[in-house]
Amino acid sequence: MTKQLKVLVIEAHPDEAEMYAGGTAALLADRGAAVKFMSLTNGDAGHHEMSREALKRRRAREAFKAADLLSVLDYEILDNHDGELFSDLPLRKAVLRAICRWRADIVITFHDECEGHFDNRVAARVVREAVDFCTNDNVVDLVPALTQAPICLRMTDYGAIPTHKHDIVVDVTDSIERKLRACAAHATQFLEFSPYERGFLNEAPKEGDWASERPFVLKHWPEFMYAVDGMKPALQAKYGRTAEFAESFDLAGYGRAVSIEDVNALLAV
């Protein structure tokens, strides 16, 4: 019997796994992988009008709707305040416990040493620190250690674009509609808060108007939807062609030591 591939995407805020890895997550789920998203904050600062308590509840509902669209099996959201994430022992143990409980073969997270959102950098740092202990049976209780460290991949965000390496590139053309719908499901972010902060709230469609949501998301977040020039050599080498839509992952320098070819063969997408 072939072992089911287990994938854990660890982000700082609900909606980031969808935007940066949602297409790949959907493709992996299609081929039978068990995919989980984990947010280390509840996202309760990400709005210009809503209170923290109301916002965290709404963002949780959005996250589970997005997970269903992508066939992601679980979406764990830690109850830490958005904008206040710190790398401490309780957080590291929570991440370590999640990696071991999910029996993760692959962990995807952010870059930890670059510019950008403080929470994102902290999330990545905590993952790197937790992975170092995932084969040690004496660190977290009641969850057996892994027999080998997971493969660790890094997804890009705004701060990581200048240093991100396009090691593993996935053509997500077949899942782009689900990815876009999953992003739009996070209406607080894609239709409200980010448009407000970036000055195009007047262009934002009403939630549920998919015919308007789709082009709106593509217009304002193109760098995380389309295949950018830096991805094209890897796409050509892998598929014998380029693609319109793609996602890119940087093979981290921690976790299980593998080659790019090993990762592409394991993902098989």
Q: How far apart are alpha carbons 97 and 134 in whole angstroms?
A: 8
CATH code for position 161: 3.40.50.10320
Sign of the torsion formed by the C-alpha atoms of 176, 60, 81 and 255: negative
127 found inside a domain: yes
Q: Which domain holds residue 221?
A: 6-267
In the predicted model, what is the mean pLDDT of residues 232-240? Answer: 97
Instruction: Calculate the dihedral angle through the C-alpha atoms of 104, 70, 176, 32, rounding to the nearest 10 degrees.
Output: 50
Please report the pLDDT score of residue 5 as a whole number: 98
Write down the mean pLDDT value for the chain: 97
Q: How many domains does the chain divide into? A: 1
27 found inside a domain: yes
228 found inside a domain: yes
Q: Are 170 and 246 in contact (CB under 8 A)?
A: yes
pLDDT in tens, 159-189: 999 999 999 999 999 999 999 999 999 999 9
pLDDT in tens, 63-74: 999 999 999 999
47 found inside a domain: yes
Q: Are 34 and 4 in contact (CB under 8 A)?
A: yes
First and final C-alpha spacing in the chain = 20
Task: Write the DSSP string, 133-146.
Answer: TTT-TTSSSSSPPP
1 found inside a domain: no
Query: Any idea what DSSP says for residue 206?
Result: P
pLDDT in tens, 84-133: 999 999 999 999 999 999 999 999 999 998 899 999 999 999 999 999 99
pLDDT in tens, 22-59: 999 999 999 999 999 999 999 999 999 999 999 999 99
In the predicted model, what is the mean pLDDT of residues 242-249? Answer: 98
Please report the pLDDT score of residue 101 as a whole number: 98
Please report the pLDDT score of residue 2 as a whole number: 78
Q: Which residues contact 70 (CB under 8 A, 6 or more apart)?
A: 18, 22, 25, 26, 29, 35, 175, 178, 179, 182
- When pLDDT is cut at 50, 70 and 90, the band that residue 1 belongs to is low
pLDDT in tens, 202-213: 999 999 999 999
In the predicted model, what is the mean pLDDT of residues 250-261? Answer: 97
10 found inside a domain: yes
